[in-house]
Structure 1
Amino acid sequence: MSASQPVPHLIVRRWRVGEEEALWRLKYQTIHSINRADYSAAQCAAWAPDDLDPALWRQRIAGMDPFVVELDGELAGFADLQADGYIDHFFCAATRQGCGVGRALMQHIHALAQSRSMTRLFSQVSLTARPFFEHVGFEVVCEQQLCVRGITLANFSMQKWLQPAGDAAEHQE
């Protein structure tokens, strides 16, 4: 970034009731544009259909209890961390790729995991997201073929073992 460009303002916060539709649009647009590089149109349509039931999505979001990244006041990504260490959703807006949104989401996930004394993070990761997850220390457990709405999609089961907070401090000495 040059000195003449403003530094974007990025915050991570809990999602708010009423943002469900915006979160679906973000997920839909990311899948149909960014993930389209690795998946066919039919696969993207199965993964993020045009006819998703809004009530089911609202229920899913409430159960997932995600956090969001705002970049310059706009939703730029969202993710979650379940009680067992599972990351169910991890999406960065198609228009905000390369702006630090994924890094902010992953830092937040790690901070939450540490505060909850978790020892492992795991997720089902798309072909597109695999390099990012590997970059932040996740390893592939196995490649999978999933059937979604009658269409087969490939993804990866990935995990990352975490060092307990006390161990990390001891190893730095």
Structure 2
Amino acid sequence: MSTTPQHPSIRPYQADDATTTLRIFTAAITKTAAADYSPEQVQAWAQPGQRDATGWHLAMRKRNSFVATANSEVVGFSDVNVHGYIDMMFVDPQHQRQGVARALLEEAERQARELGAASLTADVSITARPFFERHGFFVEHRQEPVKQGVKLVNFRMRKALYEEHQ
């Protein structure tokens, strides 16, 4: 466990990050997002104990994933595709409010610009919405995706990467 907070470093996701990133995903939903979602919603979304590291690793590899580290420990992860879509961004609950999500978002934006995307988009939880709004995203619309037969709420959010000229 970290002793002194350090500005997070970003590096590409590696195969040996699978177990840690899966743990962070589950903890972020069951501990952090649980403040905004019912126990039934949390269970359907996180599916604790139902995912295996091998399947998780294959999915992470497909998404151009990267991790944030502090004191050599993985403390969060995210991804971004060629269209600027961020599928996942999760921070270990023990490392919240230490600049981890900001560092991940900065990396997603850097990569999206490099790939030529005009904007960043994400399906953002109730919990994460204020963070994304503080970083220039706006809500395009509210969504109600269904996971394991349970309706959740999230928001399709967007941030333009370049000023639009009219």
TM-score, length-normalised on structure 2? 0.91
Distance 2:22 2:5 in 1: 27
1:7 CA displacement: 5.5
1:9 CA displacement: 4.6
**Structure 1 stretches (4+) deviating beyond 6 angstroms?**
none
Question: What is the SS of the residue equivalent to 1:46?
Answer: helix
1:51 CA displacement: 1.3
- Give aligned-pair identity as a percent: 33
1:66 CA displacement: 0.6
Decide whether the 8 Å contact of 2:91 with 2:101 is kept in 1: yes
Q: CA RMSD in A?
A: 1.7
Distance 1:19 1:115 in 2: 25
- Specify the code of the residue in structure 2 equivalent to 1:25: R
The answer to whether residue 74 in structure 2 is matched with residue 75 in structure 1 is yes
- Specify the code of the residue in structure 2 equivalent to 1:108: E
Larger-gyration structure (1/2):
1
Distance 2:51 2:5 in 1: 36
Question: What is the SS of the residue equivalent to 1:142?
Answer: strand
Structure-to-structure mapping, 1:11-26, within 5 angstroms: 11-26=9-24
Any gaps of 5 or more consecutive residues in structure 1?
168-173
Decide whether the 8 Å contact of 1:9 with 1:72 is kept in 2: no
1:134 CA displacement: 0.5
Please give the per-residue CA displacement for 1:56-91, whole angstroms capped at 9, x wherever unaligned.
222211111311000111111100001111100011
1:34 alignment partner in structure 2:
32
The answer to whether residue 5 in structure 2 is matched with residue 10 in structure 1 is no
Structure-to-structure mapping, 1:4-153, within 5 angstroms: 8-49=6-47, 50-153=49-152
* More deviation, 5-14/147-156: 5-14
Question: What is the SS of the residue equivalent to 2:75?
Answer: strand
Distance 1:156 1:7, change over 3 A: closer
Decide whether the 8 Å contact of 2:84 with 2:119 is kept in 1: yes
Aligned length: 161
Decide whether the 8 Å contact of 2:7 with 2:99 is kept in 1: no
Question: What is the SS of the residue equivalent to 2:37?
Answer: coil
Decide whether the 8 Å contact of 1:20 with 1:58 is kept in 2: yes
Any gaps of 5 or more consecutive residues in structure 2?
none
Decide whether the 8 Å contact of 1:143 with 1:155 is kept in 2: yes
